[in-house]
């Protein structure tokens, strides 16, 4: 029986050990994330997943199509991500575990793709095969176990970012596969590369629009890694470069320039509290903070609560606004100048900044989110690990990497335990970010619900004092709590109402406003007149951003004014306010809600009028409406029958009362 050569035996043995280490890595990732898999849905999860239960759940082609094509996240509506949610549940409410489990599986798949891609890149740079295995494994492991990615993996709706990253990594992997054949099999190579660019960009965009950056990221790969080895790999056809790399790149840049110049560059456009100019000043500070968290991991970050990051007002306010661009400019200059001498370093740096091109520049998004680093941070550790592997012995390298990975896994496990329930997330974030209005308000609410009333009010009082801008979120939460405790005085309400009415109305706070209005109209605020509550809303209409009578802000303000009027026995004013709200933002769902409010207060004729308005909106079509807010004529008909029955009963009672008199 013939024996394998020693070199082949060693190769087989090394490959087996590598596979075993990958298996142990996935086990470690699963253990690290396990506590968080049973955690709750949060924030945007509800808006995205609640439509799963519309019209009885996803049980036929029509309901499937309605959900998948009815998304509201991004220009493409991200149907591919929505299809993946259907695989986890076909109705709502649902258990969060299958969704988070799927996110973790996708995270692991991305780790595999990243490891394979790093291996291909290192092979291009002439690393030895035995070194490639361990550098790729260690780099992918550090990315998989990094605690800064916990909020992406355990926040269900961020599967959109995960899937987009998955298709970008797959596109890069296929592109490299084709690129390696340009010199030997050019026709096959260009077919593979063309498919890699077109197919994976398009399918990635259907998960999240960030995938449009794939051609740019391929350009970074060409300019650094492949550019340092063109003699070996050959030069690309100029026609291919222009068609598949240059034109997509120029398209993205043109879109960003267009977005900048078509916006009110120096104006604050609600619901944001900063202008586009201030956003651009702030992003270098944020990118520096991203890098700080990546290279100096925290035991727990503020997770999904990131509204504490204050926008820069000028280059010297704060001073880091000026220092951060200098830091990035130096880093980028080094990456560009030494791209052929230090290609791996240059690639990791330029990949990071290119990956942030959409969400960290001129689009009017919120300032800071951790999930934006999910793809850009993929290669940040690779050069460091490669240098470490080349400089120290194999055993010392293994011990060093095991130590680093144990620390990262421990941090991730700790964060995942906090993600196990919403109160622990809120409390940890509130303590970590005392100037986060959202975290402080939610923490105070949890304390209040637990019967710790004094602590809840103390948290809100401290937040109102410490946060520089007036936050309706905090003020309204405090008013609502005082109402429920019977402690809200007329003077205190007037002082808070003046502050609230002078700020731009934020439609995202509709539930907070709704909680307070319901408390007031139910008589919880015994010392506050409903007419004063109405005045608060009407004074909001004097604030410039709220004056557009075709906006959602205007519609919501008028709706609340009408809601208060209906409960204050002012049906004529209620109808007028409701009509103005409906004109500003026509909606069958909103019209039917108005009809219900009027019917609840025994204004039956007015209620039927708005029910008919709801029917008219249904007949106009509701293709632009989220499934959760769609109304059917059957629902309207059932409502009208109930109103008629109530009106008949009321008439009978009135007639009986008159006869008895």
**Residue-level pLDDT at 6:** 46
Phi, psi of 317 (to 5 degrees): -135, 90
Distance CA 536, CA 574 (A): 15
Which residues of the chain register pLDDT less than 50? 1-2, 4, 6-7, 9-10, 623
CA distance 587 to 72: 16
Q: Is 317 helix (H, G, I), strand (E, B) or coil?
A: strand
pLDDT in tens, 524-581: 988 899 999 999 999 999 998 888 888 889 999 999 999 999 999 999 999 999 999 9
pLDDT for residue 396: 92
Distance from C-alpha of 651 to C-alpha of 617, rounded to nearest angstrom: 30
3-state class (DSSP) for residue 314:
strand
Query: What is the C-alpha separation between 600 and 306, in angstroms, rounded?
Result: 40
Contact 85, 159 (CB under 8 A): yes
Cα angle value 523/528/531 (rounded, 5°): 95
523 conformational bin, left if phi > 0, alpha if psi -120 to 50, beta if neither: left
Which residues partner with 160 through β-bridges?
none
In 3D, which of 473, 491, 485 has the Cα closest to residue 529? 491
Could you give the 3-state DSSP secondary structure of residue 268? Answer: strand
Mark 197-234 as b/e (b = at least 16 C-beta within 10 Å).
beebbebbbbbbbbbbbbbbbbbbbbbbbbbbeeeebb
pLDDT at 172: 98
Residue-wise pLDDT for 12-49, tens only, equals 556 778 889 999 999 999 999 999 999 999 988 998 99
């Amino acid at each position: 029986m013939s024996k394998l050569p020693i070199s082949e035996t060693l190769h087989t043995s090394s490959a087996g050990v590598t596979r075993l280490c990958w298996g142990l890595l996935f086990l470690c990732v699963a253990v690290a994330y396990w506590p968080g898999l049973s955690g709750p849905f949060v924030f945007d999860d509800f808006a995205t997943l609640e439509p799963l239960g519309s019209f009885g759940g996803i049980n036929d082609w029509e309901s499937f199509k309605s959900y998948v094509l009815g998304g509201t996240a991004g220009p493409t509506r991200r149907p591919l991500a929505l299809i993946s949610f259907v695989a986890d549940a076909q109705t709502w409410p649902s258990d969060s575990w299958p969704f988070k489990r799927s996110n973790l599986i996708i995270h692991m798949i991305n780790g595999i793709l990243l490891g394979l891609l790093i291996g291909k890149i290192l092979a291009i740079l002439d690393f030895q095969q035995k070194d490639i295995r361990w550098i790729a494994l260690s780099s992918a492991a550090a990315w998989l176990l990094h605690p800064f990615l916990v909020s992406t993996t355990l926040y269900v709706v961020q599967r959109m970012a995960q899937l987009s990253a998955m298709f970008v990594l797959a596109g890069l992997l296929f592109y490299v596969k084709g690129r390696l054949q340009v010199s030997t099999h050019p026709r096959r190579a260009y077919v593979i590369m063309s498919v890699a660019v077109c197919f994976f960009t398009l399918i990635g965009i259907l998960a999240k629009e960030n995938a449009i950056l794939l051609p740019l990221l391929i350009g970074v790969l060409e300019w650094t890694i492949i550019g340092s080895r063109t003699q070996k790999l050959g030069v690309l056809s100029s026609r291919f470069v222009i068609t598949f790399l240059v034109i997509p790149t120029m398209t993205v840049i043109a879109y960003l320039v267009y977005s900048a110049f078509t916006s009110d560059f120096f104006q604050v456009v609600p619901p944001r509290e900063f202008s586009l100019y201030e956003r651009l000043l702030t992003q270098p500070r944020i990118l520096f903070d991203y890098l700080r968290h990546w290279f100096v991991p925290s035991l727990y970050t503020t997770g999904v609560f990131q509204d504490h990051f204050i926008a820069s007002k000028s280059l010297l306010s704060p001073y880091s606004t000026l220092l951060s661009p200098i830091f990035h400019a130096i880093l980028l200059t080094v990456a560009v100048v030494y791209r052929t001498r230090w290609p791996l370093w240059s690639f990791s740096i330029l990949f990071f900044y290119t990956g942030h091109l959409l969400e960290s520049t001129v689009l009017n998004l919120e300032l800071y989110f951790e999930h934006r680093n999910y793809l850009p941070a993929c290669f940040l550790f690779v050069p460091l690990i490669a240098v470490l592997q080349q400089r120290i012995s194999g055993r010392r390298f293994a011990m060093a990497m095991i130590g680093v990975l144990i620390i990262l896994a421990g941090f991730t496990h700790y964060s995942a335990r906090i993600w196990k329930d919403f109160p622990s997330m809120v409390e940890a974030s509130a303590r970590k970010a005392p100037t986060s209005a959202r975290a402080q308000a939610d923490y105070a609410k949890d304390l209040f619900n637990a019967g710790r009333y004094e602590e809840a009010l103390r948290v809100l009082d401290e937040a109102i004092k410490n946060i520089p801008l007036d936050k309706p979120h905090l003020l309204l939460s405090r008013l609502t709590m005082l109402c429920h405790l019977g402690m809200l005085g007329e003077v205190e309400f007037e002082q808070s109402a003046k502050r609230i009415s002078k700020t731009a109305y934020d439609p995202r706070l509709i539930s907070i406003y709704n909680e307070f209005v319901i408390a007031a109209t139910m008589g919880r605020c015994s010392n506050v007149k409903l007419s004063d509550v109405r005045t608060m809303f009407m004074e909001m209409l004097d604030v410039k951003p709220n004056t557009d009578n075709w906006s959602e802000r205007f519609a919501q303000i008028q709706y609340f004014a009408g809601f208060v009027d209906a409960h204050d026995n002012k049906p004529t004013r209620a109808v007028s306010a409701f009509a103005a709200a409906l004109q500003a933002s026509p909606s069958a769902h909103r019209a039917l809600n108005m009809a219900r409010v009027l019917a609840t207060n025994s204004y039956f004729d007015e209620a039927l009028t708005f029910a008919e308005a709801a029917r008219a909106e249904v007949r106009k079509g509701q293709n632009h409406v989220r499934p959760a807010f769609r109304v059917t004529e059957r629902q309207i008909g059932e409502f009208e029958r109930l109103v008629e029955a109530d009106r008949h009963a009321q008439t009978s009672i009135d007639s009986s009362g008159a006869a008895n008199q």
